[in-house]
Chain A
């Protein structure tokens, strides 16, 4: 009985993960200024969050797009899941290569700022799109 429950949970987790992956793969993750116009940084928290992102996340997820790691801008994770993902290597059944960031690397306050920035980046769909041509 116990084994059946564990297997059921396992399949649900796999399904959930795959579903997120499919959802994320088909919407565009592009949010950068040339594509979507400039983001407005109305609060210091947002500005600080961008700096935290640049120091820790940008190398693998350039401006939230796919790079060494998958795109982030089109993954509809709530703030609590984002925090867990950044702090824990065990996210999504331990699959993936992303390092975990401890509190001495990203403090609690910086984590709050990072999540604010990541959500704002995800929501940024442009007010000045395709400006150049």
Chain B
């Protein structure tokens, strides 16, 4: 009897291993950045009744953001730099009615350009600054570039994020953290930046007091295999912390929303304690919202099960990084990893994190957002969010692809609904689902009239055994239009 049971169990296991149930792992073969041909099939994208989708620009290389001028002409940023350590010139391109593009401006080897916003004759662009530090650039329509802000702490895991203009005459933008959860570790070496900038680390926006917790790892910066180092929070790799050590706050800082007058001037802190505040948008009632990417299961202090978050931004508020996730304590069994619970790094917390407006999928990489303002399009007051999709297994493991779609969120009650997804048996990017639909949506933006939703699709980026392998010329801009009443 026992033998029969075993046989049956093995049969089921075989079925699971080769059948429908898969744990997602590496894919995409060897790591290359070579262009691929992407066969687009709008009919492979499912939308709610009454909406249609069509590609309006193709063959883009790592597009990240879109903005519109007074005439409603669309302009797109190309990142230049992308995860996987590919270095190309970042660009600002005009989208022409025939689907071609015209270059307005190009940057140096200091991408990624993460997004743009147009205001009164100028483009404001966030330059991610992986090599030389983040910048906010002001670009005229003729392509003349001036630096509004520079030396932002962007040479780590996360960059200077896309800007938005407020009614108060300020330019708001997010600045991501250097690390996953406050500790520089070997994961940052594998990302590439620790070797380039071995002293780079997170900077708090205000003074903080540490618990003195340190993390021991091997030292990839030396030839000696047995060399070990101990690293504390907010400190360079190999520098331990001590109990009650004070780390002085500074501006610019990591994991914050900052603002600067449109005409230039001193940098101001809006909110902090964020991890990667990627997308910013004002709602119809002028409330600023931000998407914040949750912790990864990687590095010296991995987090587990922490979703991405939509926050309503309150001036001066601390949002919890590196000790809280979505407003909940990380020092909890819920976030336990094989390395045990993440313990608090801070001896005193600068405040109590608020309740999120919504909690999105773990590893979904919920990025650019915009609010519907036109009843003709529908869902007025709801946030539309582009989900780039997971970067597993580098950031952790999942049972299925997460993200790779556009969702809409009611910020009043946190309810999330899919809006644009691929038609396939399971959710996932077109390259895995073998169809012609969405790949990695990274930004969404309504046209000035609010009648069309533009989706910036970064393109094909498989996670190979050697790391991310973003493919050139696979980026697309899609346009979603409402064509019928419901």
Contacts and interface: CB of A to CB of B under 8 A. Distances in A.
A54 B415 contact: yes
Most chain A CB within a 10 A radius of its CB, from B1, B43, B359: B359
A62 B427 CA distance: 10
A67 B19 contact: no
A11 B418 contact: no
B52 interface: yes
Interface string A53-73: 011001110110111111100
B426 A59 contact: no
A7 B3 CA distance: 12
A99 B333 CA distance: 7
Interface residues of B, number: 56
A68 B418 CA distance: 17
Nearest to B309: A59
Interface string B352-378: 000000111111100000000000000
Interface string A23-61: 011101110111101100000000000110011001110
Interface string B33-68: 000000000110111111111000000000000000
A18 interface: yes
B340 interface: no
Interface string B1-19: 1100110110011011001
A97 interface: yes
Contacts of A59: 305-307, 326, 359-362
Given A15-B9, A58-B359, A59-B360, A68 B46 contact: no
Contact of B399 (A34, A66, A99, A131): A66
Interface residues of A, number: 44
Nearest to B294: A59
B49 A37 contact: yes
A97 B418 contact: no
Contacts of A29: 426
Most chain B CB within a 10 A radius of its CB, from A7, A38, A67: A67
Contacts of B47: 34, 131-133
A30 B47 CA distance: 13
Contacts of B9: 11, 14-15, 18
A30 B426 contact: yes
Given A22-B16, A68-B363, A132 B307 contact: no
A73 B199 CA distance: 48
Contacts of B50: 131
B398 A128 contact: no
B420 A34 contact: yes
A92 interface: no
Contacts of B362: 59-60, 67-68
| Interface of B: prevailing SS | mixed
Contact of B52 (A28, A58, A133): A133
A84 interface: no
B400 A38 contact: no
B26 interface: no
Given A21-B21, A30-B427, A34-B419, A60 B48 contact: no
A130 interface: yes
Contact of A32 (B8, B398, B418): B418
Given A7-B2, A70-B399, A131-B50, A58 B425 contact: no
Most chain B CB within a 10 A radius of its CB, from A8, A15, A22, A133: A133
Contact of B425 (A28, A37, A130): A28
Contact of A18 (B12, B53, B396, B420): B12
B413 interface: yes
B12 A19 contact: yes
Contacts of B21: 21-22, 24-26
Contact of B334 (A24, A58, A62, A99): A99
Interface of B: 1-2, 5-6, 8-9, 12-13, 15-16, 19-21, 42-43, 45-53, 304-307, 326, 333-334, 358-364, 396, 398-400, 402, 413-421, 423, 425-427
Interface of A: 7-8, 11, 14-15, 18-19, 21-22, 24-26, 28-30, 32-35, 37-38, 50-51, 54-55, 58-60, 62-63, 65-71, 97, 99, 128, 130-133
9 contacts: A25-B21, A28-B426, A32-B421, A34-B48, A35-B423, A38-B48, A59-B361, A99-B333, A133-B52
Q: What 8 A-B pairs are tightest by C-beta distance, nearest first? A: A66-B400, A59-B307, A25-B21, A131-B49, A132-B47, A32-B418, A34-B46, A99-B334
Given A18-B9, A131-B47, A132-B47, 9 more contacts: A21-B12, A21-B16, A26-B20, A35-B423, A54-B415, A67-B363, A67-B402, A68-B402, A130-B46
